[in-house]
Amino acid sequence: MRYLLNDIEIDLKLGYVIKLGVKHSVRAKTLQVLAYLIEHDQEVVTKQSLLDTIWHDVVVQEQVLVQSIKEIRDLLGAEVIKTYPRQGYCWVADTTPLTRLNSLFLFKQSRVVKYLSWVSVVFSIIFICILAWRYQLLDKANLSVAFLPVENAMPDNQHQWVPLQGMDYLTQALSKQSSLTVIDSDHLLYGFERLSQSSTLMLSEGEIVPLRQKVGAELIVQTRLTGFPQDFQLHYTLFFPHGVERGVELASSVTGAYDKLVERIATRYGEFQPNRRVNYHSDFSNEAFVTGVEHYLKQDYASAIPLLMTALNIEPELLAARRYLAASYANTNELGSAFSLLQQNIIEAEKVSDNREALRAYLMVGYLKINWPVSSDREQELLSAEQHINQAQQLARKVVDKLFIAYSYEELGKIKRLQGRYSEASRLLNLALEYHQEFHGSYGQTAALIELAKVAAEQKEEDESQRYLAHALNIAETNDAPANQIWVLLAKAELARRQHNELLAKRWARQAMEVAEHNDNPHLITRVNAWFEHKPVYTVN
């Protein structure tokens, strides 16, 4: 059947769209989704009905449908399909069926042109069939998978083992816990050696295809580890012959993040065989969410906000997207919107027992109220912050999350310092230190040490204050953690400024800038510049 959409001709039988005189082939599955939506014009079609109809013969994730919807919108316009959150999609565009007679306006065809056109159509159909066959093949249990070395983006020198050991862990875990064919690490590294003389273990997207040909893998998995101890993020990119999918897994340990990615791949493409692990489900594979996070990390909040909002419209239960959206609003001084989103996340997280998201939301509300005062009644604002952080601590104790217990002690100590209750502040901050000392990677202690230095300075104990800062700087330098080095140096600069020693203050700040520039980190450079411009250096991280 053929349709006319404004000046665009849609041929559902032959699988192409003519737009501005140019013929565009439509991927087989996307074509079926388009036909189904047009057939159910003005009806809200559920996602499940589309998946059951189009992908009835294979087990797939919802992301394949999202990708087809995106392809249709890219080709025909975003307004042709309306999304109904938690319900499905509706075709809302006006389409006119084309008969054979009223389509002759295109041009008069000679026999040669007709012949060539039919040849082109035949080859297009064959090509589409091949693509469809390849696409379905990837959903079979005999899919071959290869893991690239894990890119280490941790801000310390404690994780130098990550690239090769991480690749080996993922390879062995997926091989043991699934029916998939997994390319062994030695064979993959041999492919690297044959592919390039470069010493780096990282590949560009353009090098993925030749690597696939050398090692014989249909799915290439690229990963990047970032975050902080006890709060890791494993960003992943899945390279298929037919496209790319990205996502992120969150965990309190490196191996925990690896295990979640292994489970995701094994569950989707092979029979997952759990290895003493509880099943985990969290949908972080939405492209809009991942791209939004990338913009957020680059401090491009204006670009991050619409992407994160799109992710929420598609998946309203995606709590991490709402959290990043709240942080983006906070960093652009739209605190009302930030508070509203965080309160909503608290409610939604408690409904589904997502303790980590609830903890983050409680702490973020308290953090904002401490560092971005907006109320004329400062004491009441600090009491409200304390209530939220106490709720975070109660939940952290209930689920025995020591990292967030430590965080809550830090923020409570800061509140007591701002209230002038210095002995309580010192007690709470020392408790935070005790918890941080239990973790691998000691640079988590620097925040509490900086606060203890500020408490000492406000009590006119200058020598004690400098000892705390010297200890914090030594920890940050020993762990090669530039962000923490900068926080300590800026704290030293701020204390010198309060003592009206602007020359010494600028000296410490310039050292902070040297660290930021040496590490070529725009985020850290922005923070140091904020100090020089007498602006708040705090951002929601």
Compute and round to an integer the Cα radius of gyration of the chain: 28
Q: Do residue 40 and residue 176 come from a single domain?
A: no
Label residues 61-71 b or e (16+ Cβ within 10 Å = b). Answer: bbbbbbbbbeb
Q: Of 432, 451, 476, which marks where a domain is finished? A: 476
Q: Sorting pLDDT into bands at 50, 70 and 90, what band is 372? A: confident
| pLDDT above 90: residue 413 | yes
pLDDT digits (tens, 9 = 90+) for 515-541: 888 877 777 888 888 889 887 666 666
Overall average pLDDT of the 477-492 stretch: 89
Virtual torsion, Cα 149, 153, 156, 162, nearest 10 deg:
-20
Q: Do residue 453 and residue 332 come from a single domain?
A: yes
DSSP code string of 376-387: S-HHHHHHHHHH
| Chain mean pLDDT for the chain | 81
Structural domain span for residue 113: 2-137
Overall average pLDDT of the 479-506 stretch: 91
Q: Sorting pLDDT into bands at 50, 70 and 90, what band is 279? A: very low
Looking at the structure of the chain, the number of domains it has is 3
Confidence at residue 137, expressed as pLDDT on a 0 to 100 scale: 46
Closest CA to 3 of 131, 91, 129, 120: 91
Q: Do residue 253 and residue 175 come from a single domain?
A: yes
Distances (CA, A) of 86 to 92, 298, 316: 18, 31, 8
- What's the CA angle centered on 375, arms 369 and 381, to 5 degrees? 45
Cα separation of 15 and 462, whole Å?
76
Residue 384 in any domain: the answer is yes
| pLDDT above 60: residue 25 | yes
Q: Do residue 97 and residue 163 come from a single domain?
A: no
Residue 493 in any domain: the answer is no
Please tell me which residue, 138 or 272, carries the higher pLDDT value: 272
pLDDT digits (tens, 9 = 90+) for 378-400: 999 999 999 999 999 999 999 99
The enclosing domain of 426 has a CATH number of: 1.25.40.10
Q: Sorting pLDDT into bands at 50, 70 and 90, what band is 26? A: confident
Instruction: Name which of 77-86, 190-199, 245-254 the model is least confident about.
Output: 190-199
Is pTM beyond 0.95? Reply is no
First-residue to last-residue Cα distance in the chain: 52
**Residue 91, H or E segment:** strand 88-91
Q: Of 455, 476, 497, which marks where a domain is finished? A: 476
The enclosing domain of 212 has a CATH number of: 3.40.50.10610
Confidence at residue 168, expressed as pLDDT on a 0 to 100 scale: 83
| pLDDT above 50: residue 507 | yes
